[in-house]
Structure 1
Amino acid sequence: MSTENTEKQWRILVVDDEPNNLQLLRQLLKNQYHISLATSGHQALEVAEKVKPDLILLDIMMPGIDGYETCTQFKSNPETAAIPVIFVSAKSEVLDERRGFDVGAVDYITKPVSGPIVHARIATHLALYDQQRTFETLLLQRTKELAESQKAAIHMLGEAGHYNDEDTGVHIWRMAAYAEAIARKAGWHVKKARQLQFAAPMHDTGKIGIPDAILKKPGKLTPEEWVIMRKHTEIGYGILVKSDTPLFKMAADISLYHHEKWDGSGYPQGLSGERIPESARIVALADVFDALTMERPYKKAWSVEEAFAEIERCRGQHFDPVLTDHFLEIKDEILAIKDTWDTAEAKMRESGQTFLTV
């Protein structure tokens, strides 16, 4: 196959609200690449879902959502997260280039564009993109056994924290799915959101160090018993922090801080606002919502409407107000996740399973 034919298979999405800029780039590139055009961030997100481009040229200053927000949304979507994004911007906008790299862009091209520069930058990043895909395929193959081992450790630690609970353990996996959905809505890169999904089930690992008499007590805990119960956050942190991998570092933070509250009234350190790691703030939301909708020996399950109302009521007190808004905005997705896991739990009970694997 010739180089020219290979190049024509590459798909490039060009996004700019100025028709002249779109046509200029289209004329520059049409002989070598398959070109798709979009005139806004919202349209770009829709087009990218359909055509699956190999590279995106993205304007910054656009009406509606700007290039930074558009890029953030690309990177939080599993379908588009890996696509390289090059910002095409006026010289004055390049002063904010750090922000562009922070949201996931790989390069900048300044306006007015130079044909040779555009072609060179595109060729470079398409080559890197191709190499990255090849490398990731090999990496996935070679690390499958390690990944399975790590996954097994996550299961064991997650289940260990709930070993003495009266439920079947579905809670931690359903809650983790909620957390991953909230993180994606908050703009997290899909890979980081997936990491959160695996870290979240370990949030109560420290409960393995709490006496059964307290964990299984059917009534309210005394003040002295609460002092002991609250130590599960620090016990879990002490276990999980011994690993220096990003996954277990995140899990350690979540274990330590998932009972902190936005207004500073939580524990163990009484942190408030953004001093609480965002991962723990997300898990706090997911954990409380799932706990409310679960039936336990000492309480009936709340309806989903009651649970959503309670989350909204605690906005800005227990929960990060922005994350609360994100959670409420994806209500349909949360309900779909709940339905999926509730079905899985019902099948578990029918088959007599004690623990669930994912």
Structure 2
Amino acid sequence: MLALVLDDAEMNNLLVVAAIRPILGCQPHDFTVPAEALAFARAHASEIGVVITDYDMPGMNGVEFIRAVRAIPKLANVPTVMVTSHDQRSLRREALEAGATDFLAKPADPVEVRARVTNLLALSQAHRAMRDHAALLAREVAAAVALVEEREREIVSTLMRAAENRDADTGDHIARVSAYTGLIAEALGLGPAERRLMSLAATMHDVGKIAVPDAILLKPGPLTPEERCEMERHAERGQRILGGSASEVMRLAADIAVSHHERWDGTGYPNRLKGEAIPLAGRVVAVADVFDALITERPYKQAWSLERARRYLIENAGAHFDPRVINAFLDRWSQVEGALSPTRLRDSDVAAA
């Protein structure tokens, strides 16, 4: 490891370097100008095992130099020794507060210098070993998490392929709902990990429709009250399909499945939850799901224009939808428009005219 030695007096540097050169694995580099020593420290931060600095120097004293060294991320914990002829408590306290690890008095005793630097290099080596081990563990954990996430995506993909076999439009719909969910979550201030989780879970919001008979699911006209009741059961069925899993994304997907048809005013289904009693993810997916349903042609309806769908969301904020979620969606409106092709926009406008 490298040992950085700084003293404006060349002779003092020579004495310290001579004392530590015999230490196995130690490569001393001495400087008389603090700025040059600091530049070397930045360039070789990952190799430096100990810093030895004088106190009295022109331009930058030893305490200021230690503070500057500590500001370099890779040197935040490197052992640092101050060599000084001063024996003032206030100076030592200031140096300790700046990050000094140890002190050596002038004139330096070569035996003491060598012993202390040997110990500090061993401390530095141990710290590096711990840091490297922590980094290795972090990489292994990240790899394990990535594997779990990949398995979860495979499970989601399998469920969605099953759903697509029931309804040709389902695949496109869930992709768009997932995208809108991510935009809303971002506008609400959720972090990247939460956004990814909610977007993935949102793809399974209608998985309970697997159990809905084709005669109802694909019916081109209005549903009878009995058929409507059967259709609404898909929320609870989705929860049963997805619930009970140890997977975080599956648990969130189960919450979304059962709650995305609840309404802010408490008139939704299946549990007539009201306001913030509805899980946030359910409130977010409710907006994304309804919006996409409005602008998409279905067997029983034509597609609405974007402007008409936007007005519907605004008019139903506080009744059907959480007003805060509506505001978040509108904050990302330009991105919503950009995600839809010009051709589709024209078709939607024509259909609604």
Please confirm whether the aligned pair reaches a TM-score higher than 0.5, indicating the same fold. Answer: yes
Contact 2:265 2:319 in 1 (8 A): yes
Counterpart of 1:185 in structure 2 is 187
Q: CA deviation at 1:210?
A: 1.2
- 1:163 corresponds to which of 151, 162, 165: 165
One-letter amino acid matched to 2:278: I
Q: CA deviation at 1:305?
A: 1.8
- 1:310 corresponds to which of 309, 312, 322: 312
Contact 1:7 1:33 in 2 (8 A): no
Q: Please state if 1:149 is matched with 2:187.
A: no
Higher relative contact order (CA 8 A, sep 6+): 1
Counterpart of 2:71 in structure 1 is 33
Tell me, what secondary structure is at the counterpart of 1:269?
coil
Counterpart of 2:328 in structure 1 is 326
Q: CA deviation at 1:268?
A: 0.2
Tell me, what secondary structure is at the counterpart of 2:203?
helix
Q: Residues 314 and 163 of structure 1: is their aligned pair in 2 closer, same or farther, counting only changes over 3 Å?
A: farther
CA–CA separation in structure 2 for the residues paired with 1:118 and 1:175: 53
Q: What do residues 62-117 of structure 1 show as CA deviations (whole Å, max 9, x unaligned)?
A: xxxxxxxxxxxxxxxxxxxxxxxxxxxxxxxxxxxxxxxxxxxxxxxxxxxx9967
Q: CA deviation at 1:246?
A: 1.2
Alignment of 1:23-62 (within 5 A): 30-33=68-71
Contact 2:160 2:204 in 1 (8 A): yes
- 1:232 corresponds to which of 231, 234, 237: 234
Q: CA deviation at 1:136?
A: 4.4
CA–CA separation in structure 2 for the residues paired with 1:205 and 1:332: 29
One-letter amino acid matched to 1:240: L
Q: CA deviation at 1:255?
A: 0.3
One-letter amino acid matched to 1:151: R
Contact 1:262 1:317 in 2 (8 A): yes
Q: What do residues 280-326 of structure 1 show as CA deviations (whole Å, max 9, x unaligned)?
A: 00011111111111122322222222221211111111111111111
Q: CA deviation at 1:192?
A: 1.1
Alignment of 1:213-252 (within 5 A): 213-252=215-254
Q: Residues 29 and 160 of structure 1: is their aligned pair in 2 closer, same or farther, counting only changes over 3 Å?
A: farther
Contact 1:160 1:208 in 2 (8 A): yes
Q: Residues 129 and 291 of structure 1: is their aligned pair in 2 closer, same or farther, counting only changes over 3 Å?
A: farther
Alignment of 1:13-28 (within 5 A): none
Which stretch shifts more, 155-164 or 324-333?
155-164
Counterpart of 2:339 in structure 1 is 337
Contact 1:206 1:237 in 2 (8 A): yes
One-letter amino acid matched to 1:221: L
Contact 1:7 1:32 in 2 (8 A): no
Q: Residues 329 and 143 of structure 1: is their aligned pair in 2 closer, same or farther, counting only changes over 3 Å?
A: closer
Counterpart of 2:275 in structure 1 is 273
Given the two structures, how large is their TM-score scaled by the length of structure 1? 0.59
CA–CA separation in structure 2 for the residues paired with 1:133 and 1:171: 41
Identity over aligned residues, as a percent? 38
Q: What do residues 189-220 of structure 1 show as CA deviations (whole Å, max 9, x unaligned)?
A: 21011001110011111111111111111111
Number of aligned residues: 243
Structure 1: 5+ residue stretches without partners: 10-25, 36-54, 56-113, 121-126, 344-358
Counterpart of 2:59 in structure 1 is none
Tell me, what secondary structure is at the counterpart of 2:340?
helix
